Amino acid sequence: MRNQEFSFELITQDDNARLGRISTSRGYIDTPTFMPVGTQGTVKGVFTNDILKTGTQIILGNTYHLLLRPGIDTLKKFNGLHKFMNWDKPILTDSGGYQIMSLSNLNKIDKDIGAIFKSHLDGKKIILSPEKSIQVQKSINSDIVMVLDECPKLTEDKKILSNAINVSTHWAERCKIEFGQDKEKALFGIAQGGLYEDLREESICKLVDIGFDGYAMGGLAVGETQSEMFEILSKSVNFFPKKKPRYLMGVGTPSDILGAVNQGIDMFDCVLPTRSGRTGLAYTWEGKLNIKNSKYQNDKTPLDPYCELRELNRYSKSYLNHLIKSNEMMASMLISLNNINFYQQFMNEIRKNIKKGTFATFYKKYIDYYN
């Protein structure tokens, strides 16, 4: 690890699409970038060495789940998650805010205390305050730390959304105080506001007043349509500072990513590549392929002839079809790796086209290809 202050360079733009580079003490991150999700210290079904071969520059971990298991004491013995999981590149950690929504039946919100959880593992009471979230992320040794926020479920109720903004802003202020000064790491704020432009503006402007190293759009990919997501991005993304990275949390399909890049987003994460891999759904340059389908039973061709990772092209669709039908774990491992590799190739092509000024052509070709 080298001594390198966190920074973001906006290299060029092609209309709204942005080409940039994040510098961290653990390496560079070329943007737009996609982060495979390693919620519990592993990207499901994929070896870390194989993830590196895909060109992945950063992965995501989760504060809530790592707090419960393996726990802070264990992670401290390894000086954080990097050595624990044998990953020496940057890690971003979600603060636990998403679990406030996804595990809403197991928690309650108190603006002054934080999120009060009943552990989904053993029922024990867990208090995740803004300060505790930052402390856990520091123990994880995250390179990019996220503030604790309240992420409401999809709703049109402005009162609920406004309350989430008030709680999230209060927590963001406390997170920044707890984070302190650490120029080698970054603290990102998270904007809420649902699908309302005025609420998004309010949330973002409050975060900008506090001041963060980067900014995220939270509260999307929670059930709204793709067109609704693109519309609120188009109306609100320019409230973010131009010279700071912009992160759309929990997104998404290749088409989602492409549309969000078109609105000026720089960073993405999603479980989709590995979750789809475990069900036999492959993302390729020829589209989405359901390898369980009987039409692939005798197909001798590789999963993706345009795949740049040679190890994957050693296996035919017929073989993968056989593995899936036999419930062999290698099927999900290979297809998950293929999907991560495809996503990284896709991001690389996005960056190339932004650099060449041909992003609009690439966008038109692929925006509806993976829906």
List Cα–Cα distances, 325 to 240, 280, 297, 313, 321, in angstroms: 48, 10, 10, 20, 6
Question: What is the C-alpha to C-alpha distance for residues 39 and 237, in angstroms, rounded to an integer?
Answer: 27
User: CA-CA distance, 28 to 7, in Å (whole number)?
Assistant: 10
14 is catalytic: no
Tally the residues of the chain.
371
| Contact (Cβ atoms closer than 8 angstroms) between residue 210 and residue 176 | yes
What would the two tokens of residue 28 be? 């560079």
Residue of 94, 143, 149, 266 marked catalytic? 94
Out of 50, 256, 269, 304, which one is annotated catalytic? Answer: 269
329 burial class (0-12, 13-18, 19+ CB within 10 angstroms)?
exposed
Q: Name the phi and psi angles at 249, rounded to 5.
A: -80, 135
CA distance 67 to 179: 18
- From the list 242, 309, 183, the residue with the least C-alpha distance to 20 is 242
* Residue 269: active-site member: yes
Q: Which residues are catalytically annotated?
A: 94, 269
